[in-house]
Amino acid sequence: MDKKIILSGIKPTGIPTLGNYIGALRNWNLMQKDGNYCYYMVADLHALTVRNDPDELRQQTRSMAALLIACGIDPDRSPLFIQSHVHQHAELSWLLGCVTYMGELNRMTQFKDKSAKHADNINAGLYTYPVLMASDILIYGAHQVPVGDDQKQHVELARNIAIRFNNAFGDTFVVPEPVMPKFGARIMGLQDPEHKMSKTDTNPNGYISMLDDPAVITKKFKKAVTDCEPVIAYAEGRYGCNNLLTIFCACTGKTMDEAVKDFEGCGYGRLKAAVAEAVIAELEPVQSEYRRIMDDREYLDGVLKKGAEQAAEKAQQTLDLAFSRVGIR
Ligand code: ATP
Ligand code: LTN
């Protein structure tokens, strides 16, 4: 089997949701196998593209790192680090920005969505965000990038940037590809199932936080928006029902056909209770591990320091090569 280099990141903009977990974090854990070498990071620089509170950012960055370990990231095998601790990302980002077209950035749907959501703060960082993300990926020579569906477009841009740079200056970057889970690459909001579940949703009933306790999880699913159709089925346009079934499959390992059969003749009450139960079983071990890690400050600091050192070694090599290719060194 081919040894693959994997990289992914998550913004410390709040406690991750069930969507982050199913769409990305669970896969990060699973990819640490065979000969793969995985780099995982907390993307604190990316978090600055929306208004932030410095104390909150500090706290959320640590908390996110602890949660990643609780999700199964093994820092002895996969460097785990904070993006800003490896200064090379921001430097490479400048070079890549010079081979990225504004037309490409104009097409990014996350930029359009975030601009609409934060109309009073459409900053240049929000616009060039995908270039920094390309730098995160290309600096490690990542072959694969495990992400949810909403980030696919950004990974595709990273591919195009890599190909363009290689064509212009000679072979420098590995051309990466996105990897998405079979079920749950786009978990939808519980209150607005036509939009993705997001950790920065202003309505907490719209998402399941990974640290919600069982009673809260049960309550949020009970309130989840569904539809008036009498039969539980996976079908076009039935956003709420489809979302619950998808979450059920993702947490139980069942196929969609099996799940639909399980709920034959049942009402939404039964489906919602079963989904809540499956989610609680999935999240409980992660939550207790998280609390243990957060209580051990020294351990977490040590992991992040070592992770940044390991990452920086590789990042510097790529940066040196890229600089020399463009004629700077
Ligand atoms: P924010 O609300 O701050 O924009 P977010 O909840 O969208 O954040 P990110 O930090 O942008 O989360 O995403 C981390 C990872 O989780 C990415 O790979 C992203 O594709 C994935 N992800 C985010 N939301 C979902 C979702 N609803 N379903 C599946 N995957 C998701
Ligand atoms: N943009 C991503 C977070 C992120 C990322 C990355 C993901 C930053 N750098 C590199 C994969 C690879 C997001 O919003 N989820």
* Domain containing residue 222: CATH number: 1.10.240.10
Q: For ligand 1, atom 23, which residue shows the shortest CA distance?
A: 20
31 and 162 in a single domain? The answer is yes
Tell which atom from ligand 1 comes closest to the C-alpha of 147: 18
pLDDT of residue 34: 78
pLDDT of residue 103: 97
241 within a domain of the structure (yes/no): yes
Percent of the chain with pLDDT over 70: 100
**Of the residues 114, 152, 220, 314, which is catalytic?**
114
Query: Is the C-beta atom of 152 inside 6 A of ligand 1?
Result: no
Number of separate domains in the chain: 2
Q: For ligand 1, atom 14, which residue shows the shortest CA distance?
A: 10
User: What is the extent of the structural domain holding 277?
Assistant: 204-291
Query: Is the C-beta atom of 147 inside 6 A of ligand 2?
Result: yes
Alpha-carbon distance of 190 to 204, in angstroms, equals 10
Q: What average pLDDT is seen over the chain?
A: 96
Q: For ligand 2, atom 11, which residue shows the shortest CA distance?
A: 8
189 within a domain of the structure (yes/no): no
Query: Is the C-beta atom of 10 inside 6 A of ligand 2?
Result: yes
Q: For ligand 1, atom 25, which residue shows the shortest CA distance?
A: 19
**From the CA atom positions of the chain, what is the Rg in Å?**
20
The verdict on whether 272 is a catalytic residue reads no
306 and 283 in a single domain? The answer is no
Alpha-carbon distance of 32 to 261, in angstroms, equals 33
**Of the residues 196, 220, 272, 314, which is catalytic?**
196
36 and 90 in a single domain? The answer is yes
pLDDT of residue 1: 57
pLDDT of residue 294: 96
Residue 202 tokens, joined: 């202003």
134 and 222 in a single domain? The answer is no
179 and 250 in a single domain? The answer is no
57 within a domain of the structure (yes/no): yes
Render the burial of 30-61: b for 16+ CB within 10 Å, e for the rest. Answer: ebbeeebbbbbbbbbbbbbbbeeeeeeeeebb
Query: Is the C-beta atom of 131 inside 6 A of ligand 2?
Result: no
The pLDDT of residue 136 is above 90? yes
84 and 133 in a single domain? The answer is yes
87 within a domain of the structure (yes/no): yes
The pLDDT of residue 264 is above 70? yes
Alpha-carbon distance of 280 to 213, in angstroms, equals 8
151 and 82 in a single domain? The answer is yes
The verdict on whether 199 is a catalytic residue reads yes
CA 245 – ligand 2 centroid, Å: 27
CA 113 – ligand 1 centroid, Å: 13
- Give the Cα-Cα-Cα angle 66, 72, 74 (nearest 5 degrees): 85
Task: Look at 108-112, 187-191, 196-200 and tell me which has the smallest mean pLDDT.
Answer: 196-200
Of 150, 153, 242, the one to substitute when testing ligand 1's pocket (max ligand atoms within 8 A of C-beta) is: 150
178 within a domain of the structure (yes/no): yes
The pLDDT of residue 200 is above 90? no
Per residue in 99-112, pLDDT (tens digit) is: 999 999 999 999 99
Amino acid at 326: V
CATH code at position 62: 3.40.50.620
10 bridge partner residues:
42
Read off the pLDDT of each residue in 299-320 and give the average, rounded to a whole number.
98
88 and 137 in a single domain? The answer is yes
193 within a domain of the structure (yes/no): no
Nearest to 23 by CA among 205, 142, 146: 146
Read off the pLDDT of each residue in 155-174 and give the average, rounded to a whole number.
98
Task: Pick the ligand that lies closest to the CA of residue 206.
Answer: 1
Nearest to 316 by CA among 142, 88, 131: 88
Alpha-carbon distance of 198 to 20, in angstroms, equals 8
25 and 65 in a single domain? The answer is yes
Query: Is the C-beta atom of 60 inside 6 A of ligand 1?
Result: no
The verdict on whether 219 is a catalytic residue reads no
46 and 172 in a single domain? The answer is yes
Tell which atom from ligand 1 comes closest to the C-alpha of 47: 3
The pLDDT of residue 83 is above 60? yes
The pLDDT of residue 174 is above 80? yes
pLDDT of residue 183: 84
Per residue in 225-241, pLDDT (tens digit) is: 999 898 999 999 999 99
Tell which atom from ligand 1 comes closest to the C-alpha of 16: 6
192 within a domain of the structure (yes/no): no
Residue 132 tokens, joined: 């920094």
Q: For ligand 1, atom 7, which residue shows the shortest CA distance?
A: 198
Task: Pick the ligand that lies closest to the CA of residue 137.
Answer: 2
78 and 137 in a single domain? The answer is yes
Residue 41's SS3 state is strand
233 within a domain of the structure (yes/no): yes
250 and 266 in a single domain? The answer is yes
Question: Residue 77 — pLDDT band, cuts 50, 70, 90?
Answer: very high
